[in-house]
Amino acid sequence: MPSAHPAPDQIPSTVGTAVHVNFRKWNDAEHWQSDGTLLGTDEHGVWVGFPAGTRCSRPEASFVCDRPQVGLFPWDRGYTPVVWDRDEARGDTGRIRIYTDISTIPTWRRDGDDRWTVTMIDLDLDVVQRVGEDPYVDDEDEFAAHQVRYGYPAEVVEQAEQDCRLVLSMVQEHTGPFDGAFERRLRDYLAEIS
């Protein structure tokens, strides 16, 4: 599927620009919040880097990332994957390597000259891969419960399920941004921040 790229003034373009990540829930409640920097754009979407020490928080929960990570915000699909700097050689087996939130399509807003915010609604489903293990779909029970609680429209449910199947397939088959693009972005990012 060809990507529908936003106009240049509708997305950040200067590498190093601050990016605030603003996940919401369907009822517009605040969900995960974090801050990173723009790494660049390509056919997959907008790439953002997060150094070790990045704080991720939501109401009543937070954590600090122990290793650098790279996130992707696709142009026209509702999923937002993050890949951590983790591998089996360091004894990381079982730790999360890829975590993909199924969401609405990310939207961008300029917050002054030197910061952008990317916003999307988390739709509960996640595609997760732990180091040394096969990927799996998580939070299907939450997705089912929230369809009732929040009244997700049928087309939103259908799109979320479709995007979830797509991401799972791409991770399993090493296609799309999971064809090595994440590894290249992460390697370049690690070289830049070291």
Say what the pLDDT of residue 106 is.
Answer: 95
Say what the pLDDT of residue 1 is.
Answer: 40
Reference 72, options 57, 83, 87; nearest CA is: 83
Say what the pLDDT of residue 84 is.
Answer: 86
- Measured CA to CA, the distance from residue 124 to residue 141 in angstroms comes to 9
Say what the pLDDT of residue 107 is.
Answer: 95
Going by C-beta distance under 8 Å and a sequence separation of 6 or more, which residues neighbour residue 154?
none
- What is the β-pairing status of strands 79-84 and 96-103? antiparallel
CA-based radius of gyration for the chain: 16
Say what the pLDDT of residue 88 is.
Answer: 67
Is the separation of the CB atoms in 99 and 126 below 8 Å?
yes
pLDDT tens by residue, the chain, 194 residues? 445 667 667 888 899 999 999 999 999 999 999 999 999 999 999 999 999 999 999 999 999 998 899 999 999 999 999 998 877 677 777 889 999 999 999 999 999 878 999 999 999 999 999 998 999 999 999 999 999 999 999 999 999 999 999 999 999 999 999 999 998 999 999 888 87
Say what the pLDDT of residue 93 is.
Answer: 76
Domains and CATH numbers, the chain: 8-193 (2.40.380.10)
Say what the pLDDT of residue 193 is.
Answer: 86
